[in-house]
């Protein structure tokens, strides 16, 4: 999932990821059934992270190559037996060589969706499919809203769009611009229980919001954001639930 573009906005650490983000591949496991990998196919996993879903695709008999922008995550994937390589989604160099491209929770890190989609299109053979999930319009809106309020109060400017969370129309248009036929596309809410609190979530995923702050300021601001969200995001059982919205699609290279 970890695939920021040329200027990384998140420092990915496999150990932290295993502790705080193992739900990312677990909750998207059924995306592999959208892909329907078959024995003998060649599949590219774009933003493979530590390779959990890459391994699930390989288990179906496909030959899978994983790429990720984070050298640390690629090393972790390789240690798990994945054929993984460091590559940036916006500058893919594959040509006409995959039956399918798969991607979970990476596309929202991209700054130039058109560059990514053109690279995926080039990587696919004719009629090849692109099956992906990313954060969709409204994803983590309450978390970003609370962060904006707290950061504003501290005089810190937040980027207008820290991540790419498209609507159905925006994603469909981008896919068509790159030469895909959109076969299926859905947007759905998926409230997501977190293994820790919002402070942990921000340390794992919140780079675009907090990365420019000193560690001391970052800690103080993260705690203030968490306090603001406690009434709405922490259940009576103490479990924090994030307001995730997912966008999934199957698109075909024409």
CB of 13 to ligand BEZ, least distance (A): 15
C-beta of residue 233 within 8 angstroms of C-beta of residue 146: no
CB of 111 to ligand BEZ, least distance (A): 14
CB of 192 to ligand BEZ, least distance (A): 8
Closer residue to ligand BEZ, CB minimum distance, 51 or 135: 135
Closer residue to ligand BEZ, CB minimum distance, 23 or 125: 23
Closer residue to ligand BEZ, CB minimum distance, 62 or 147: 147
> 61: which 2 tokens?
């008999």
C-alpha span between 66 and 68 (Å, rounded):
7
As to burial, measured by CB atoms within 10 angstroms (0-12 exposed, 13-18 middle, 19+ buried), residue 30 is exposed
Name the site residues for ligand BEZ (rule: CB under 6 A). Answer: 105, 108, 135, 139-140, 163, 205, 244
CB of 85 to ligand BEZ, least distance (A): 22
CB of 5 to ligand BEZ, least distance (A): 14
Closer residue to ligand BEZ, CB minimum distance, 178 or 245: 245
C-beta of residue 60 within 8 angstroms of C-beta of residue 39: yes
| Helix spans in the chain (H) | 14-20, 23-27, 31-35, 52-59, 71-79, 113-123, 141-153, 168-177, 198-205, 207-210, 215-233
C-beta of residue 45 within 8 angstroms of C-beta of residue 100: no
Closer residue to ligand BEZ, CB minimum distance, 77 or 143: 143
**Residue with the shortest CB distance to ligand BEZ:** 135
For the four alpha carbons of 7, 165, 175 and 184, in that order, the dihedral sign comes to positive
């Amino acid at each position: 999932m970890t695939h920021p573009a040329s200027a990384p906005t998140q420092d990915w650490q496999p150990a932290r990821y295993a502790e705080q983000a193992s739900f990312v591949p677990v909750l998207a496991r059924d995306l592999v059934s959208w892909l329907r990998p078959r024995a003998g196919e060649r599949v590219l996993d774009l933003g493979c992270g530590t390779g959990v879903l890459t391994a699930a695709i390989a288990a179906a008999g496909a030959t899978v190559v994983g790429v990720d922008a984070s050298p640390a995550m690629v090393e972790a994937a390789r240690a798990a037996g994945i054929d993984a390589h460091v590559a940036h989604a916006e500058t893919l160099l594959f040509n006409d060589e995959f039956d399918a491209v798969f991607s979970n929770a990476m596309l929202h890190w991209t700054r130039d969706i058109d560059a990514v989609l053109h690279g995926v299109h080039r990587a696919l053979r004719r009629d090849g499919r692109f099956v992906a999930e990313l954060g969709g319009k409204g994803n983590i809106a309450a978390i970003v809203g609370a962060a904006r309020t707290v950061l504003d109060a501290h005089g810190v400017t937040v980027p207008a769009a820290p991540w790419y969370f498209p609507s159905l129309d925006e994603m469909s248009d981008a896919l068509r611009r790159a030469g895909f036929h959109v076969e299926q596309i859905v947007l759905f809410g998926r409230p997501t229980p977190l293994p820790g609190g919002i402070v942990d979530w921000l340390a794992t995923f919140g780079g675009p919001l907090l990365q420019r702050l000193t560690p001391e300021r970052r800690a103080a601001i993260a705690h203030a954001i968490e306090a603001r969200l406690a009434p709405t995001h922490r259940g009576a059982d103490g479990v924090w639930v994030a307001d995730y919205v997912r966008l999934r699609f199957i698109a075909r290279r024409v």
